[in-house]
Protein backbone atom coordinates (compact mmCIF):
# COMPACT_ATOMS: atom_id res chain seq x y z
CA UNK A 1 0.00 0.00 0.00
CA UNK A 2 1.43 3.36 -1.03
CA UNK A 3 1.96 6.00 1.61
CA UNK A 4 1.59 9.72 1.07
CA UNK A 5 3.92 12.21 2.75
CA UNK A 6 2.83 15.79 3.15
CA UNK A 7 5.73 18.23 3.26
CA UNK A 8 5.56 20.69 6.10
CA UNK A 9 5.94 24.28 4.95
CA UNK A 10 8.99 25.93 6.49
CA UNK A 11 8.19 28.96 8.59
CA UNK A 12 10.05 32.14 7.68
CA UNK A 13 11.43 33.78 10.84
CA UNK A 14 11.05 37.55 11.02
CA UNK A 15 12.32 39.96 13.68
CA UNK A 16 10.84 43.48 13.93
CA UNK A 17 13.51 45.69 15.45
CA UNK A 18 11.47 48.50 16.98
CA UNK A 19 8.18 46.62 17.19
CA UNK A 20 6.76 48.94 19.87
CA UNK A 21 6.43 51.94 17.52
CA UNK A 22 3.42 52.77 15.35
CA UNK A 23 4.78 51.19 12.18
CA UNK A 24 6.26 48.22 14.04
CA UNK A 25 2.97 47.42 15.75
CA UNK A 26 1.09 47.69 12.46
CA UNK A 27 3.56 45.39 10.70
CA UNK A 28 3.41 42.84 13.50
CA UNK A 29 -0.39 42.79 13.40
CA UNK A 30 -0.36 42.24 9.64
CA UNK A 31 2.28 39.50 9.79
CA UNK A 32 0.27 37.68 12.46
CA UNK A 33 -2.28 36.84 9.79
CA UNK A 34 0.26 35.13 7.50
CA UNK A 35 0.60 31.40 8.23
CA UNK A 36 4.12 30.97 6.83
CA UNK A 37 5.72 33.67 8.99
CA UNK A 38 6.92 33.28 12.57
CA UNK A 39 7.52 36.66 14.21
CA UNK A 40 10.34 36.60 16.76
CA UNK A 41 10.86 39.05 19.61
CA UNK A 42 13.84 39.85 21.77
CA UNK A 43 13.47 40.03 25.54
CA UNK A 44 12.79 43.65 26.60
CA UNK A 45 15.78 43.61 28.95
CA UNK A 46 18.08 42.60 26.09
CA UNK A 47 16.92 45.03 23.42
CA UNK A 48 20.15 47.03 23.76
CA UNK A 49 22.39 44.03 24.41
CA UNK A 50 24.72 43.85 21.40
CA UNK A 51 25.33 40.08 21.56
CA UNK A 52 21.65 39.29 22.10
CA UNK A 53 20.78 41.41 19.07
CA UNK A 54 23.51 39.77 16.99
CA UNK A 55 22.21 36.33 17.94
CA UNK A 56 18.68 37.35 16.95
CA UNK A 57 19.98 38.49 13.56
CA UNK A 58 21.70 35.10 13.10
CA UNK A 59 18.52 33.24 14.00
CA UNK A 60 16.06 34.91 11.62
CA UNK A 61 15.56 35.01 7.87
CA UNK A 62 14.60 38.67 7.72
CA UNK A 63 14.69 41.70 10.01
CA UNK A 64 12.47 44.77 9.70
CA UNK A 65 13.98 48.00 11.02
CA UNK A 66 11.38 50.31 12.57
CA UNK A 67 13.97 52.52 14.19
CA UNK A 68 15.35 56.07 14.11
CA UNK A 69 17.90 56.49 11.32
CA UNK A 70 21.02 56.24 13.49
CA UNK A 71 19.76 53.12 15.25
CA UNK A 72 18.90 51.56 11.88
CA UNK A 73 22.45 52.20 10.67
CA UNK A 74 23.81 50.55 13.82
CA UNK A 75 21.73 47.41 13.22
CA UNK A 76 22.87 47.27 9.59
CA UNK A 77 26.50 47.59 10.73
CA UNK A 78 25.92 44.70 13.15
CA UNK A 79 24.42 42.63 10.31
CA UNK A 80 27.47 43.44 8.17
CA UNK A 81 29.67 41.77 10.79
CA UNK A 82 27.73 38.52 10.39
CA UNK A 83 28.74 38.09 6.76
CA UNK A 84 26.86 35.21 5.12
CA UNK A 85 24.87 34.62 8.33
CA UNK A 86 23.20 38.02 8.08
CA UNK A 87 19.45 38.08 7.43
CA UNK A 88 17.62 39.95 4.71
CA UNK A 89 16.70 43.48 5.77
CA UNK A 90 13.70 45.73 5.19
CA UNK A 91 14.53 49.19 6.54
CA UNK A 92 11.47 51.32 7.31
CA UNK A 93 13.59 54.30 8.38
CA UNK A 94 14.92 56.94 5.98
CA UNK A 95 18.53 55.89 6.56
CA UNK A 96 19.06 53.90 3.34
CA UNK A 97 16.42 55.08 0.87
CA UNK A 98 18.92 56.63 -1.53
CA UNK A 99 21.94 54.55 -0.43
CA UNK A 100 24.01 52.43 -2.80
CA UNK A 101 23.41 48.69 -2.49
CA UNK A 102 19.77 49.06 -1.42
CA UNK A 103 16.68 48.38 -3.52
CA UNK A 104 13.88 50.91 -3.18
CA UNK A 105 10.79 49.07 -1.98
CA UNK A 106 8.09 50.45 -4.27
CA UNK A 107 7.21 47.28 -6.18
CA UNK A 108 5.11 49.01 -8.85
CA UNK A 109 7.61 51.78 -9.54
CA UNK A 110 8.62 50.33 -12.91
CA UNK A 111 8.28 47.06 -14.81
CA UNK A 112 10.32 44.26 -13.25
CA UNK A 113 10.94 46.10 -10.01
CA UNK A 114 9.03 43.55 -7.93
CA UNK A 115 11.50 40.93 -9.21
CA UNK A 116 14.39 43.13 -8.08
CA UNK A 117 12.85 43.24 -4.59
CA UNK A 118 12.41 39.45 -4.60
CA UNK A 119 16.12 38.99 -5.31
CA UNK A 120 17.33 41.66 -2.87
CA UNK A 121 19.05 41.19 0.46
CA UNK A 122 18.39 44.79 1.50
CA UNK A 123 15.30 46.83 0.72
CA UNK A 124 14.58 50.40 1.81
CA UNK A 125 10.88 50.80 2.49
CA UNK A 126 9.52 53.98 0.85
CA UNK A 127 8.23 57.00 2.70
CA UNK A 128 4.48 57.54 2.66
CA UNK A 129 4.61 60.95 0.96
CA UNK A 130 7.11 59.88 -1.74
CA UNK A 131 5.00 56.82 -2.55
CA UNK A 132 2.19 59.09 -3.73
CA UNK A 133 4.49 61.60 -5.42
CA UNK A 134 6.59 59.02 -7.26
CA UNK A 135 3.48 57.11 -8.35
CA UNK A 136 2.19 60.26 -10.04
CA UNK A 137 5.40 61.70 -11.45
CA UNK A 138 7.65 58.86 -12.57
CA UNK A 139 5.39 57.57 -15.39
CA UNK A 140 5.06 61.09 -16.80
CA UNK A 141 8.81 61.71 -16.60
CA UNK A 142 9.52 58.37 -18.28
CA UNK A 143 7.00 59.23 -21.01
CA UNK A 144 8.76 62.53 -21.67
CA UNK A 145 5.72 64.64 -20.75
CA UNK A 146 7.46 66.08 -17.70
CA UNK A 147 11.09 66.99 -18.35
CA UNK A 148 13.53 65.87 -15.60
CA UNK A 149 14.48 69.50 -14.83
CA UNK A 150 10.85 70.69 -14.72
CA UNK A 151 10.05 72.80 -11.60
CA UNK A 152 7.70 70.55 -9.61
CA UNK A 153 5.75 71.38 -6.46
CA UNK A 154 4.28 68.58 -4.35
CA UNK A 155 1.70 69.37 -1.67
CA UNK A 156 0.51 66.74 0.78
CA UNK A 157 -1.57 66.19 3.90
CA UNK A 158 -1.29 63.20 6.22
CA UNK A 159 -3.03 61.86 9.26
CA UNK A 160 -1.08 62.41 12.46
CA UNK A 161 -0.08 58.75 12.89
CA UNK A 162 2.80 59.36 10.48
CA UNK A 163 4.35 62.02 12.71
CA UNK A 164 5.90 59.93 15.45
CA UNK A 165 5.11 59.43 19.12
CA UNK A 166 5.13 63.07 20.25
CA UNK A 167 2.78 64.19 17.48
CA UNK A 168 0.43 61.26 18.07
CA UNK A 169 0.30 61.99 21.80
CA UNK A 170 -0.36 65.70 21.17
CA UNK A 171 -3.26 65.02 18.81
CA UNK A 172 -4.78 62.32 20.97
CA UNK A 173 -4.52 64.60 24.03
CA UNK A 174 -6.28 67.38 22.14
CA UNK A 175 -3.35 69.79 22.44
CA UNK A 176 -2.32 69.87 18.77
CA UNK A 177 -3.78 72.26 16.17
CA UNK A 178 -6.49 71.04 13.80
CA UNK A 179 -4.21 71.56 10.81
CA UNK A 180 -0.67 72.76 10.23
CA UNK A 181 1.97 73.07 7.54
CA UNK A 182 5.43 71.90 8.48
CA UNK A 183 8.82 71.30 6.87
CA UNK A 184 8.80 74.92 5.74
CA UNK A 185 12.59 74.99 5.69
CA UNK A 186 12.16 72.90 2.50
CA UNK A 187 14.53 70.20 3.74
CA UNK A 188 12.06 67.46 4.62
CA UNK A 189 13.82 64.11 4.84
CA UNK A 190 11.58 62.60 2.12
CA UNK A 191 12.73 65.00 -0.62
CA UNK A 192 15.87 63.06 -1.71
CA UNK A 193 13.92 59.87 -2.47
CA UNK A 194 11.04 61.83 -4.02
CA UNK A 195 13.48 63.48 -6.42
CA UNK A 196 15.61 60.42 -7.20
CA UNK A 197 12.87 57.89 -7.87
CA UNK A 198 10.59 60.32 -9.70
CA UNK A 199 13.44 60.78 -12.17
CA UNK A 200 13.81 64.51 -11.50
CA UNK A 201 17.12 66.33 -11.82
CA UNK A 202 15.76 69.54 -10.28
CA UNK A 203 14.93 69.42 -6.57
CA UNK A 204 11.14 69.59 -6.16
CA UNK A 205 9.44 71.89 -3.67
CA UNK A 206 7.67 69.73 -1.11
CA UNK A 207 5.06 71.22 1.25
CA UNK A 208 3.75 68.65 3.78
CA UNK A 209 0.95 69.19 6.28
CA UNK A 210 -0.86 67.25 8.98
CA UNK A 211 -4.54 67.18 9.88
CA UNK A 212 -6.50 66.13 12.94
CA UNK A 213 -7.28 62.60 11.74
CA UNK A 214 -5.31 59.48 12.62
CA UNK A 215 -4.49 58.11 9.18
CA UNK A 216 -5.08 58.78 5.51
CA UNK A 217 -3.18 60.84 2.95
CA UNK A 218 -3.55 63.04 -0.13
CA UNK A 219 -0.53 63.99 -2.28
CA UNK A 220 -1.10 66.57 -5.02
CA UNK A 221 0.94 68.05 -7.88
CA UNK A 222 -0.41 71.15 -9.72
CA UNK A 223 0.54 71.55 -13.41
CA UNK A 224 0.06 74.04 -16.26
CA UNK A 225 -0.55 71.85 -19.30
CA UNK A 226 0.98 74.31 -21.77
CA UNK A 227 4.33 74.07 -19.97
CA UNK A 228 4.51 70.30 -20.47
CA UNK A 229 6.12 68.57 -23.45
CA UNK A 230 3.57 68.13 -26.25
CA UNK A 231 0.94 70.16 -24.36
CA UNK A 232 -0.96 67.00 -23.28
CA UNK A 233 -4.65 66.83 -22.49
CA UNK A 234 -5.98 65.64 -19.16
CA UNK A 235 -6.83 62.33 -20.78
CA UNK A 236 -3.29 62.01 -22.17
CA UNK A 237 -1.96 62.17 -18.60
CA UNK A 238 -4.46 59.54 -17.46
CA UNK A 239 -3.55 57.20 -20.30
CA UNK A 240 0.13 57.29 -19.37
CA UNK A 241 -0.71 56.45 -15.76
CA UNK A 242 -3.14 53.72 -16.78
CA UNK A 243 -0.58 52.06 -19.03
CA UNK A 244 2.13 52.22 -16.37
CA UNK A 245 -0.02 50.54 -13.70
CA UNK A 246 -1.92 48.16 -15.95
CA UNK A 247 -2.40 44.85 -14.16
CA UNK A 248 -1.58 46.20 -10.70
CA UNK A 249 -3.69 44.80 -7.88
CA UNK A 250 -3.07 47.77 -5.59
CA UNK A 251 -2.81 50.88 -7.78
CA UNK A 252 -5.84 52.18 -9.67
CA UNK A 253 -6.23 55.22 -11.91
CA UNK A 254 -9.66 56.83 -11.52
CA UNK A 255 -10.71 58.03 -14.98
CA UNK A 256 -12.01 61.56 -15.57
CA UNK A 257 -12.65 62.46 -11.92
CA UNK A 258 -13.42 66.13 -12.71
CA UNK A 259 -16.73 65.04 -14.24
CA UNK A 260 -17.69 63.09 -11.12
CA UNK A 261 -16.41 65.03 -8.09
CA UNK A 262 -15.08 68.35 -6.92
CA UNK A 263 -13.84 67.23 -3.50
CA UNK A 264 -11.61 64.43 -2.29
CA UNK A 265 -11.24 63.32 1.31
CA UNK A 266 -8.15 61.69 2.73
CA UNK A 267 -9.49 58.74 4.75
CA UNK A 268 -11.39 56.68 2.17
CA UNK A 269 -8.64 54.05 1.74
CA UNK A 270 -7.83 53.63 5.43
CA UNK A 271 -7.27 50.03 6.43
CA UNK A 272 -6.25 49.03 2.89
CA UNK A 273 -3.01 48.82 0.91
CA UNK A 274 -4.56 50.48 -2.13
CA UNK A 275 -3.37 53.61 -3.91
CA UNK A 276 -5.67 55.70 -6.10
CA UNK A 277 -4.42 58.17 -8.72
CA UNK A 278 -6.46 61.05 -10.14
CA UNK A 279 -6.00 63.68 -12.85
CA UNK A 280 -8.26 66.60 -11.98
CA UNK A 281 -8.37 69.72 -14.11
CA UNK A 282 -10.13 71.88 -16.65
CA UNK A 283 -9.12 71.79 -20.30
CA UNK A 284 -10.37 75.35 -20.95
CA UNK A 285 -8.00 76.66 -18.29
CA UNK A 286 -5.09 74.47 -19.34
CA UNK A 287 -4.55 73.40 -15.74
CA UNK A 288 -4.38 70.05 -13.95
CA UNK A 289 -3.91 68.72 -10.43
CA UNK A 290 -2.55 65.20 -10.06
CA UNK A 291 -3.65 63.54 -6.82
CA UNK A 292 -2.67 60.33 -5.06
CA UNK A 293 -4.78 58.96 -2.22
CA UNK A 294 -3.57 56.27 0.18
CA UNK A 295 -3.47 55.17 3.80
CA UNK A 296 -0.18 56.47 5.20
CA UNK A 297 0.01 53.33 7.38
CA UNK A 298 -1.03 51.05 4.50
CA UNK A 299 0.65 51.42 1.12
CA UNK A 300 2.54 54.29 2.73
CA UNK A 301 4.28 52.31 5.48
CA UNK A 302 3.32 48.98 7.06
CA UNK A 303 1.41 47.70 4.04
CA UNK A 304 4.36 48.40 1.77
CA UNK A 305 6.73 46.74 4.26
CA UNK A 306 4.63 43.57 4.38
CA UNK A 307 4.41 43.54 0.58
CA UNK A 308 8.22 43.71 0.43
CA UNK A 309 8.64 41.08 3.16
CA UNK A 310 6.43 38.64 1.26
CA UNK A 311 8.31 39.29 -1.98
CA UNK A 312 11.71 38.78 -0.33
CA UNK A 313 10.60 35.58 1.40
CA UNK A 314 8.96 34.16 -1.71
CA UNK A 315 5.49 34.28 -0.20
CA UNK A 316 3.85 36.69 -2.65
Dmax over CA atoms of the chain, in Å, equals 79
Q: What is the DSSP letter of 13?
A: E
Please state, in angstroms and as integers, the Cα–Cα distance from residue 316 to each residue in 1, 32, 115, 184, 300, following that order: 37, 16, 11, 39, 18
Let me know if 66 is a catalytic residue.
no
From the list 128, 194, 240, 250, the catalytic residue is 128
Phi, psi of 182 (to 5 degrees): -145, 180
Measured between alpha carbons, how far is 155 from 135 in angstroms, rounded to an integer?
14
Task: Name the strand (E) or helix (H) holding 39.
Answer: strand 37-40
Question: How far is Cα 2 from Cα 254, in angstroms, rounded to an integer?
Answer: 56
Decide if 202 contacts 151 (C-beta within 8 A). Answer: yes
d(CA 134, CA 192): 12
DSSP H stretches of helix in the chain? 22-31, 50-59, 69-81, 113-119, 128-142, 165-172, 191-198, 234-244, 303-312
Q: Which helix (H) or strand (E) holds 65?
A: strand 62-65
Residues acting as catalytic residues: 128
Amino acid sequence: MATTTTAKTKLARVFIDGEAGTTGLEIRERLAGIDNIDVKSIEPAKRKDREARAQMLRDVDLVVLCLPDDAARETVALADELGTKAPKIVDASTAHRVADGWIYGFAEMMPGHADAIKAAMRVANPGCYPTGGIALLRPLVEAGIIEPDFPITVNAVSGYSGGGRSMIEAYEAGTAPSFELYGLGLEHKHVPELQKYSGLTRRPIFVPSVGNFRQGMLVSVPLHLDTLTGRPSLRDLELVLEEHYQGSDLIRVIAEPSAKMSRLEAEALNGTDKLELYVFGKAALGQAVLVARLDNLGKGAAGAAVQNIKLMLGLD
